[in-house]
Chain A
Amino acid sequence: MNDLTEHLRERVLAAATDRKPLRIRGGGTKDFYGNAPSGELLDTTGHAGIVAYEPTELVVTVRAGTPLAELEAALGEQGQMLAFEPPHFGEATVGGCVASGLSGPRRASAGAVRDFVLGVKVLDGKGEVLNFGGQVMKNVAGYDVSRLMTGALGTLGLLLQVSLKVLPKPAAEATLRLELPQDKAIEMMNRWGGRPLPVSATCWHDDLLTLRLSGARAAVAAARAKLGGEDVAAAAAFWDSVREQRHAHFTGDVGGSALWRLSLPSRCAPLDLPGAPLIEWGGALRWLTFDGEASIVRAAAAKVGGHATLFRGGDRSGGVFQPLSESLMQIQRKLKRTFDPQGLFNPGRLYAEF
Chain B
Amino acid sequence: MGSQDEHRQLAEAEIARLIDGLRRILPPQALLVEREDLVPYECDGLTAYRQLPLLVALPQNEAQVVAVLKLCHELRVPLVARGAGTGLSGGATPVAHGVVLSLAKFMRILDIDSVSRTARVQPGVRNLSISEAVAPYGLYYAPDPSSQIACTIGGNVAENSGGVHCLKYGLTVHNVLSVRVALIDGTVVEIGSGALDSPGYDLLALMIGSEGMLGVVLEATVKLTPKPLLAQVVMASFDDVVKAGNAVADIISAGIIPAGLEMMDKPATHAVEDFVHAGYDLNAQAILLAESDGTPEEVAEEIAAMCAVLEKSGATDIRVSHDEAERLKFWAGRKAAFPAVGRITPDYLCMDGTIPRKHLAHVLTRIAELSEEYHLRCANVFHAGDGNLHPLIMFDANVEGEVERATAYGGKILELSVEVGGTITGEHGVGIEKVSQMCVQFSKEELAAFHGVKAAFDEHTLLNPGKAVPTPRRCSEYRLTGSAK
Chain A residues with CB under 8 Å of chain B are 54-59, 79, 101, 107-108, 111-112, 114-115, 124, 126, 128, 130-132, 134-145, 147-148, 150-152, 156, 167-169, 171, 190-191, 193-198, 215-219, 221-223, 263-267, 281, 284-285, 305-307, 309, 321-322, 324-325, 327-329, 331-332, 334-335, 337-339, 350-351
Chain B residue contacts of A136, Cβ below 8 A:
354-356, 386-387, 421-423, 426
**Is there an interface contact between B195 and A263, defined as CB atoms closer than 8 Å?**
yes
Q: From residue 370 to 389 of chain B, which have CB atoms closer than 8 A to chain A? A: 383, 386-388
- Residues of B within 8 Å of A58, CB to CB, are 252
Report if B256 contacts A (CB, 8 A): yes
- Residues of A within 8 Å of B114, CB to CB, are 194
Question: Are B115 and A114 closer than 8 Å at their CB atoms?
Answer: no
| Choice from A145, A156, A285 contacting B196 with Cβ under 8 Å | A285
Given the contacts A111-B170, A332-B201, A124 and B449 also touching, CB distance less than 8 Å: yes
| Chain B minimum-CB-distance residue to A56 | B249
Min C-beta distance of B464 to chain A, whole Å: 13
Provide the bound-state CA to CA distance between A269 and B237, in Å: 52
Which 9 pairs show the lowest CB-CB distances between chains A and B? A338-B452, A218-B297, A147-B205, A265-B194, A334-B456, A138-B426, A219-B298, A168-B255, A137-B386
User: Chain B CB within 10 Å — which of A54, A115, A331, A334 has the most?
Assistant: A331
The residue from A55, A56, A338 contacting B453, defined by CB atoms under 8 A apart: A338
Q: Mark B187-221, 1 if CB is under 8 A from A, else 0.
A: 10101011111111111011011100010000000
Q: How far is the CA of A150 from the CA of B255 in the complex (A)?
A: 27
Number of residue pairs across A and B with beta carbons under 8 Å?
263
Min CB gap B467→A, angstroms: 12
Write out the residue numbers on chain A whose beta carbons fall within 8 Å of the beta carbon of B166: 138
Interface residue? B339 (CB, 8 A):
no
CB distance from B468 to the nearest CB of A (A): 7
- Interface positions of B from 410 to 453, Cβ below 8 Å from A: 421-430, 434, 438, 441-443, 445-446, 449-450, 452-453
Q: Does B472 contact A (CB under 8 A)?
A: no
What are the residues of chain B within 8 A of A190 when measuring CB–CB?
115-117
Given A222-B295, A222-B298, 19 other A-B contacts at CB below 8 A?
A79-B255, A108-B196, A126-B445, A134-B421, A136-B426, A138-B166, A141-B434, A143-B214, A143-B450, A147-B205, A168-B257, A171-B255, A217-B301, A218-B298, A263-B197, A307-B193, A321-B199, A328-B189, A335-B453
Closest residue of chain A to B116 (Cβ to Cβ) is A267
Q: Is the CB of B423 within 8 A of A139?
A: yes
CB atoms of B442 and A142 under 8 A apart: yes
Which residue of the partner chain A has the closest CB to B426?
Answer: A138
CA distance A79 to B254 in the complex (A): 10
Q: Is B446 within 8 A of A131, CB to CB?
A: yes
- B271 beta carbon closer than 8 Å to chain A: no
Q: Are A145 and B202 in contact (CB under 8 A)?
A: no
Q: Are B357 and A56 in contact (CB under 8 A)?
A: yes
Cα distance, A309 to B199, chains bound together (Å): 8
Which of B162, B193, B252 contacts A56 (CB under 8 A)?
A: B252
Q: Which residues of A contact B227 (CB under 8 A)?
A: 196
Does B174 sit within 8 A of A, measured CB to CB? yes
Q: Which of B286-318 contact A (CB under 8 A)?
A: 294-295, 297-298, 300-302
Minimum CB–CB distance from B403 to chain A (whole Å) comes to 23
Closest residue on chain B to residue A336 by CB atoms? B201
Residue on A with the closest CB to B205?
A147
**Nearest chain B CB to A339's CB is how many angstroms away?**
7
**CB–CB B206/A140 < 8 A:** no
What's the least CB distance linking B350 to chain A, in Å? Answer: 14
Q: A140 and B425: CB pair below 8 A?
A: yes
B294 touches A327 (CB 8 A): no
* B253–A307 touching, CB < 8 Å: no
17 A/B residue pairs, CB under 8 Å, sorted by A: A59-B356, A101-B197, A114-B202, A115-B173, A138-B171, A138-B388, A141-B423, A143-B210, A148-B205, A152-B202, A191-B115, A196-B229, A217-B301, A218-B300, A219-B295, A284-B195, A332-B203
Determine the chain B residues whose CB is within 8 A of the CB of A322 once the complex forms: 199
CB distance from B453 to the nearest CB of A (A): 5
What is the bound-complex CA distance between A112 and B173, given in angstroms? 12
- List CB contacts (< 8 Å) of B133-182 with chain A: 137-139, 159-160, 162, 166-167, 170-171, 173-174
Measured in the bound complex, the distance between the Cα atoms of B451 and A145 in whole Å is 12
Residues of B contacting A328 in the complex (Cβ-Cβ under 8 angstroms): 189, 191, 200, 203
In the complex, the chain B residue whose C-beta lies closest to that of A328 is: B189
A102 (CB) vs chain B CBs: closest residue: B197
Q: Does B272 interact with chain A (Cβ within 8 Å)? A: no
Chain B residues 237 to 255 lying within 8 A of chain A, measured CB to CB, are 249-250, 252-253, 255
- By the criterion CB–CB under 8 Å, are B174 and A115 in contact? yes
User: Chain A residues with Cβ under 8 A from B478's Cβ?
Assistant: none
Is there an interface contact between A338 and B455, defined as CB atoms closer than 8 Å? yes
Tell me if A138 and B386 are in contact (CB < 8 A).
yes
If A139-B354, A140-B160, A263-B195 touch, whether A130 touches B429 (CB-CB below 8 Å) is no
Of the residues A54, A265, A324, contact of B356 by C-beta under 8 Å:
A54
Taking the closest CB of chain A, its distance from the CB of B421, in whole angstroms, is 6
> Is the Cβ of B441 less than 8 Å from the Cβ of A168?
no
Kindly state whether residue B27 has any CB partner on chain A within 8 Å: no
- CB of B183 closer than 8 Å to a CB of A: yes
B358 at the interface (CB under 8 A from A): yes
Q: A325 — which chain B residues lie within 8 A by C-beta?
A: 189
Check if B279 is an interface residue, CB within 8 A of chain A: no
- Assess whether A141 is in contact with B441, with CB atoms less than 8 Å apart: yes
Cβ A306 vs Cβ B193 within 8 A = yes
CA distance A130 to B442 in the complex (A): 9
Q: Determine how close the nearest CB of chain A comes to the CB of B439; give it in whole angstroms.
A: 11
Chain A residues closer than 8 Å to B294, beta-carbon distance: 196, 198, 215-216, 219
CA distance A190 to B159 in the complex (A): 30
In angstroms, how far is the closest chain A Cβ from the Cβ of B354? 4
B437 to chain A: closest residue by CB: A141
Q: Bound complex: CA of A285 vs CA of B427, how far in Å?
A: 31
Q: Which residue of B lies closest to A187 (CB)?
A: B115
B457 within 8 A of A: yes
Question: Is the pair B358, A56 in contact by a Cβ cutoff of 8 Å?
Answer: yes
Bound-state CA distance A327–B183 (Å) is 10
Is B228 engaged at the interface, CB distance under 8 Å to the other chain? Answer: yes
